[in-house]
Structures are given as structure tokens and as C-alpha cells.
Structure 1
Amino acid sequence: MQGIIVKGIAGFYYVKVDEDIYECKARGKFRHNELSPLVGDKVEFDVQNGKGFIMDILPRSCSLIRPAIANVTQAIIVFAVKNPDFSTDLLNKFLIQCEAKGLKVIICFNKIDLVSKEELEEKIAFVNSIGYKVICSRAKQGEGIEEIKEQLHNNITVLCGPSGVGKSTILNSILGRNAMETGDISERLKRGKHTTRHCELIEIKGGYIADSPGFSSLDISDIKKEDLQNCFPEFNEYKNDCRFSTCMHNKEPGCAVKEAVLKDEINKNRYDFYVKTLEEIQNRREWK
């Protein structure tokens, strides 16, 4: 039979087929091949004498390390507009990670009642200018939750974002229960605490959402300098018009991306972040 792993705990994997769940263990061959089943994997399995065994893992579209999950198609990046304070650079790091994995991205601005209408509109305009959909929410009051639910259909979705922005509250509101335990916000650090111990996929609205703390690492050291530009979708319209096909959009002459920045067709702050990140990757490679 074929199904999708929706939960994994202590070497047991729970595989969903239609409305049924089968408890399975992985065959030893996976250990020899240094391959472990992940939540989100589509697998072939067999049931023998009432015990399930995973026989094969079908090809993955992508895999994440933290959380350990495969075949994610969509990330909803949650940022509070205040408390904790909004950071454009931090948002850009999350965007790079999602783009590097080929995920569809939606940005959710939470706690919108904590800033003025003008400040909120400024943040929305910035995100719209780089081509991403925005959802505004007040998760504790339930505002914006239905709009988030509408985006889950036919997707495996993970929530990600900094600590304390309301990811757990949003997930709990989506599911109508406390799927993820939440703790108090540290008054000193303004960061959230949660006690999720494993990743689990929960079916809702014709898709799956991960009951998971989301990305806990923003390391982008594995991204090649040549691939970084692909993590900035606003470059796509221009990069084929550069003088050189190998243009890195930094110091090369005849760069259409730099021209677009000068014409305010590409956000300058985003471009400056690209250059800074590109130089960090180059310096890291040279140091190694």
C-alpha cells in the first residue's frame, strides 16, 4: 500500500491511507543507506501479521532539517509587527531559506493592533513590492485565521518565523484546539516558549499543516553564491537582460538588475541585503 507519514515517534511511523492510520517500523535497509523516513514522506508499506513495515520511500520534492519534514510545498512566515520588533533583515533570511527549498511563501503580519495603520501599510507595501502575498492577523482575537485556512488546500504547510510572534496561537486557532503547547512570553527577551517534541502533520481544509515549531536555524551556508539570486524572485524579470549570462548582479558592468534598482523597480534595501549576503557566502567559502 501507499500512504503518507503523518507522525513519527521513537522509531514508529504512522502512515495515513484515506481515513486509516497504520503504525509502521522502517526496514533495516534504510539505516544501511543512511536514509531515514520523515514526516511528510510518501511511502510504500506492507502489513504482515498485524505489523506494518515501510518498504520504500518515494522521491521527495524537498526536505527540511528543523523541523524534520519532507515534501513541504508552502511556508507561512509569521512576523509580529511589534513585540518583538519587526526586522527586515530577519524576514529576508526566512525568505531566502524558503526560496532555496522551492516553497510557495505567504507572509502573515500578526499583532496588527500594536502599530498605527500607516506603519502597517508601509510594511505591507514593502512585502507586496517584492511579490509576496500578505495576510494580516490578530491571532488571539481570531482575526485573519479564516484567510490563512483558505491557503492550506492541496498543500503541506509549515509555519515559520521568529520566537514570540504568535505561531503557536495561529496554529491553535486554525485547529480549534491546543495542538501545540504554548508558554508565556519572556518579559526580558520578548520570546515565546513551546514544548513541541515531535513533528506531526494534521489534515485540514484539503491539505496538511505541520504541528511543529518551524525553522529553528537560519543557516544559509549551504546555498551556493550562484544560486543566491534565485532566492530573490524580483530579480527574475531582469536578470536575463544582463550583459553577461554569469552576472552575479554585484560589480559586473551592464547589469539589468542594478539598473532596475536605480530606477526604483527593485527595492534598494532588498538589493543591498542580497549584496551583503552574497559577500558573506563568498567570504565564508574563501575562509574555508
Structure 2
Amino acid sequence: MTRIEGRIVRGIAGFYYVATEHGIVECRARGKFRKDNVTPLVGDIVEIQMINDSEGYILNILPRKNELIRPPIANVDQAIIVFAIAKPEINRVLLDKMIVLAESNDIEPIICINKVDLKEDREAFDLVTIYQKIGYKAVTTSVVTKDGIKELKSYLKDKVSFFAGPSGVGKSSLINSIQSNIKLKTGEVSEKLLRGRHTTRSVELLSLDFGGYVLDTPGFTALTLDIDIQDLRYYFREFLELQRGCKFSSCLHVNEPDCNIIKAVKEGLIDKNRYLSYLSLLKELKEKEKRRY
């Protein structure tokens, strides 16, 4: 029997649908996975054994690049972190928290400031510029005017991506505008369905005509930071070079003497709001550690 590799693009009720060079193959997982307490995930690269032209068995799961619990998916390349310039207003701490969450899971964050048709000032452009200077890909978009959609598509090409961000920022509308045959539900209902721990709703990777996949559900429904307090500073890219100049190698950049990061903030070399986000997330991690003990 023929053995081929493919990617799981959907899983429901014990069946896994694997995209291969021969098309979609409906698969069951071998019993050894249940015995080893391993569950195949959407996004997994798997080796399958064909039974006939459209059915097969999953034999092996190749090593995962990363794995998320909510949404349950593996091997994600990037997170499109979407915030609206208005309605709702941008929460900078939440934006930076989502960036840290992505990077701590080995996922490339791409910042998308949506609904730019609602404001005529430079706020969205200035915000995007801040993140671009740090080294992130960032884009302003509007579903109404189609501003930035072409650039966003270029970032999605040949990648496995998911959209993350607060309710009401236009994630589903953006996905719908990227490809006409993708029709996701817009509004709050789809996100609310995902908040319960137990749900029968399947997760699916939708194929993009121009190459790549996009997840059909919002990402990061659980926004808990699970990193060491000492590691947070390494997920702020603009800190990396400068913090080598701190007096203490363990400097957390709060009130330590001769802190190069505090100096850089005062001199305008580091965006003040980014630094405030860092302090807020550091406080959150410290409080979480207190509750643990």
C-alpha cells in the first residue's frame, strides 16, 4: 500500500482530513496514538497509508514546530494580530501581550491595525511605524476601502496563519475579504462558541488560492502568559541589544541602578507605551507566581 505525507486540515469525530498532493484523504488514526495518549492535531504533518484513492490511516506524526491548546492546532507559522483603530479602541497592553504569546510559542507575530477608514488622522500609521522600527511586520487595513488587503495577502502567502485579537475588530471580515469563497460568520457568536472548555465545533485550516492556509477560528482564546518572569524581557525585541549594557545581568528594568532600558525610555529610544506594557505584563507574571505559592 502507498505511503504519503500530508497536513491535517480538519479533524472531527475521530476522522482526520489530510491535504496531500493527491487531494484530501479521509483518515483514521492508528490505535497506537490512543495507547500512547497522543492526539493528532489540525496542522500536523503526518505520514499516511492509503487504503484507496480517498481513504487512509495515519501512521506517524512528524515532529511539531509548535502546538497551541486553544485553538488546538500545530505547526503554525504566524499570527495576524488584529486591532481596530476605533470601535473598539486599541488596548496597547493587550496588543503587546499577544505579541509575547506568539513569540513564546515560536510563532511570528504580524500586527494588523484594521478599520483605518474610521479615522482620518495619522494614529494608525504612527502605531504601525513603531512596530516596524522594532522589526515586526505591520500593516494598516480596511475592509471598506480595501486599504492594505494586498499587502496582508502577501504576508499570508505559503504560510499557515491564524487571526487573533479582541472581539469586534473585524477578524472574520478581513479573512472574508482576502478570498471571496471563504465565508466566515462575522460578529461575536463564533468567538463565544469557542470560550467553553468543551465544544464539538471542529477546527479547520482553509486553503488559500494563492498558497498557504488560514485557520477558520480566532486564536488565543486563552490569554494566559506561561513564561518565566526572567524571560519576559527577551520577548521585547527592542530590549535585546540595549539590555546587555545594564549593570546587572539579571536586571528586570524596573528600578535597578544603571539600567540601560530605563535610560533608553527616557531618551526616547524605546517607545514609552511599549515599556509600560512590559511593566504591566511583568506585574501580571509576579502576581501569578504569588498565587502559585
* Normalised TM-score (structure 1): 0.89
RMSD between superposed Cα atoms in Å? 2.0
Residue deviations 1:140-194, cap 9 Å, x none? 44332221111122311111111111111111111212431224xxxxxxxx333
Residue 211 of structure 1 pairs with residue 207 of structure 2: no
Indicate if the aligned counterparts of 1:129 and 1:267 stay in contact, CA closer than 8 A.
no
In the alignment, residue 207 of structure 1 is paired with which amino acid? G
- Output the amino acid matched with 1:245: S
Map 1:36-115 → 2, pairs under 5 A? 36-48=39-51, 51-115=55-119
SS of residue paired to 2:19:
strand
% identity of equivalent residues:
43
Can you list the C-alpha shifts for 1:22-57, whole angstroms capped at 9, x where unaligned?
A: 111112222232221111111111124674211111
Counterpart amino acid of residue 243 in structure 2: K
Aligned residues: 279
In 1, the alpha carbon distance for the partners of 2:34 and 2:257 equals 51
Shift of 1:241: 2.5
Equivalent residue runs for 1:1-288 within 5 Å:
1-48=4-51, 51-183=55-187, 192-194=188-190, 197-204=201-208, 205-220=210-225, 222-288=226-292
1:12 offset after TM fit, Å?
Answer: 0.8
CA contact (8 A) 1:7 1:200 kept: yes
TM-score, L = length of structure 2: 0.87
- Deviation string, structure 1 residues 199-241 (Cα, Å, up to 9, x no partner): 2112322222212222212111x21112211221111121222
Between the aligned partners of 1:19 and 1:82, the Cα distance in structure 2 is: 45
User: Structure 1 CA distance, aligned partners of 2:48 and 2:157?
Assistant: 26
1:80, 1:193 → 2: CA distance? 19
Structure 2 counterpart of 1:12, which letter?
A: F
* Distance in 2 separating the partners of 1:108 and 1:166: 11
Tell me if the contact between 1:135 and 1:148 (Cα under 8 Å) persists in the aligned partners.
yes
Q: Which residue of 1 aligns with 2:198?
A: none
Q: 1:66 is aligned with what amino acid?
A: R
SS of the residue corresponding to residue 286 of structure 1 reads helix
CA distance in 1, matches of 2:52, 2:39: 24
Contact conserved, 1:62 with 1:71, CA < 8 A, in 2? Answer: yes
Distance in 1 (CA, whole Å) between partners of 2:282 and 2:74 is 28
Q: Which runs of 5+ in 1 are unaligned?
A: 184-191
The alpha carbon displacement at 1:243 in A equals 2.7
Aligned residue number for residue 189 of structure 1: none
**After TM superposition, which residue ranges in structure 1, 4 or more long, deviate above 6 angstroms?**
none
Q: Quick check: 208-217 or 138-147, which moved more?
A: 138-147
